[in-house]
Structure 1
Amino acid sequence: MRDFPGFMIADTGRVPPRVCLIGMMGTGKSTIGRVLAARHAVDFIDTDLALEAHAGRTIADLFARDGEARFRLLETQMLAQCLGGSRVVISTGGGVVLSAVNRSLLAARATTVWLKADIDTLWQRVHRDSARPLLNTADPHATLRELMRRRDALYRECADLCVETDALTPDQVADEIEARLVGSPLHSIV
């Protein structure tokens, strides 16, 4: 995880006016993003929902018809567009960190909060959700575990801070994020 001094934009010394939530599916990114945005009267963008609206198709349909590689390209374009705004809380798809371009965008343009939960919590939250195309496998629990194993180091690389969501309500997670940002150069964002 990056240290607070690294949050400043090098050329201007300004703090990026965006908070971006990353993490595995089921960590609560969309729910917590809405809570944070509402508390601070800033815009909220869920990149998956924005991408669906732009494409006129669901994420599952994009995966099925166009493949994951095409989806990831569209995801990068949507992330770049969302990070162009200011005073916004952004919830990303779980695989956003797979792209080096996305990781660079996050580092340069946002305060990135990694929402984390253990595998059992994630499984309980997502196993009944048929709209998770990456879990449409013979053994979705093993797939979820493997996705988590492959992505954890990338989340860690991108994260300015990490909050574990397992035993917390969305409001408690939002409280934790706010508390950890108070006194940092980032407190004015949320």
Structure 2
Amino acid sequence: MLKKNNIFLIGPMGAGKSTIGRQLANQLNMSFFDSDQAIEAHTGANISWVFDVEGEIKFRDREEKIINELTKKQGIVLATGGGSIISHITRNNLLTRGLVVYLETTIDKQLIRTKHDKRRPLLRKSTSKQNIRTFLEKLAKERNPLYEEIADITILTDEQNIKVLINKIITLRNQKNT
């Protein structure tokens, strides 16, 4: 079996991809990358501004190119944007270049975790809590099957602390790579 040295974290906004990814990379002595941060570094602007100026289609093209470059690296943990899996090319790159870990979460947890976050461009369009819930439900219906399609490992992040989640990912990774 081909060992997958990279770990790619996928899942909806608020699932904990960046938070878990940083600590997972640190524990495994791997480099950590966040696709949104890479876009910001490349453009010199925050993700919301890029999204607003370029629109979603051009933003997704940019995201696809950044993830393509990042997934070519070896020995990395990559936290992807929640919508990155919309691209068939991105899904294929993630699937073939590393271990894909789907960090699953509920809508209720997403609402709590993203409540004060002004950096998420798709959430900024919804003004009321009900609008945001409906919007997150719509995204889940569209995206969850895509996350599931490419996931090597699926972990529910709702009720576990980060150390437990990281240990679970490492254990499952080691089982997959033996």
Q: TM-score range by the shorter chain?
A: over 0.9
Gaps of 5+ in 2: none
- Identify the range of structure 1 (172-181 vs 91-100) with the bigger mean alpha-carbon deviation: 172-181
Q: 1:20 deviation in Å?
A: 0.2
Q: 1:132 deviation in Å?
A: 1.0
The 8 Å contact of residues 4 and 177 in structure 2, kept in 1 or not, is answered as no
- Residue identity over aligned pairs, in percent, reads 34
The aligned length equals 174
In the alignment, does 2:105 pair up with 1:117?
yes
In the alignment, does 2:62 pair up with 1:81?
no
- Identify the range of structure 1 (118-127 vs 134-143) with the bigger mean alpha-carbon deviation: 134-143
**CA root-mean-square deviation:** 1.2
In the alignment, does 2:50 pair up with 1:62?
yes
Q: 1:184 deviation in Å?
A: 2.4
Name the amino acid aligned to 1:114: Y
> Residues of 1 paired with 2:114 and 2:82: CA distance?
12
TM-score by length of 2: 0.94
> Residues of 1 paired with 2:120 and 2:134: CA distance?
14
> Residues of 2 paired with 1:184 and 1:60: CA distance?
37
> Residues of 1 paired with 2:73 and 2:136: CA distance?
32
Query: Residue 85 of structure 1 aligns to a residue in which SS?
Result: coil
Q: 1:183 deviation in Å?
A: 2.8
1:92 paired residue among 43, 61, 80: 80
Task: State the partner residue of 1:144.
Answer: 136
In the alignment, does 2:144 pair up with 1:156?
no
Query: Residue 68 of structure 1 aligns to a residue in which SS?
Result: helix
Q: 1:128 deviation in Å?
A: 1.6
Task: State the partner residue of 1:72.
Answer: 60
CA deviations on 1:74-124 (whole Å, 9 max, x unpaired) are 000100110111011000000011011111111111110000011101110
Name the amino acid aligned to 1:30: S
> Residues of 2 paired with 1:92 and 1:51: CA distance?
11
TM-score by length of 1: 0.88
Task: State the partner residue of 2:164.
Answer: 172
Name the amino acid aligned to 2:36: D
The 8 Å contact of residues 48 and 120 in structure 2, kept in 1 or not, is answered as yes
Which runs of 4 or more aligned residues in structure 1 lie more than 3 Å from their structure 2 counterparts after TM superposition?
none
Which has the larger helix fraction?
2
Q: 1:182 deviation in Å?
A: 2.6
Task: State the partner residue of 1:133.
Answer: 121
Q: 1:16 deviation in Å?
A: 2.9
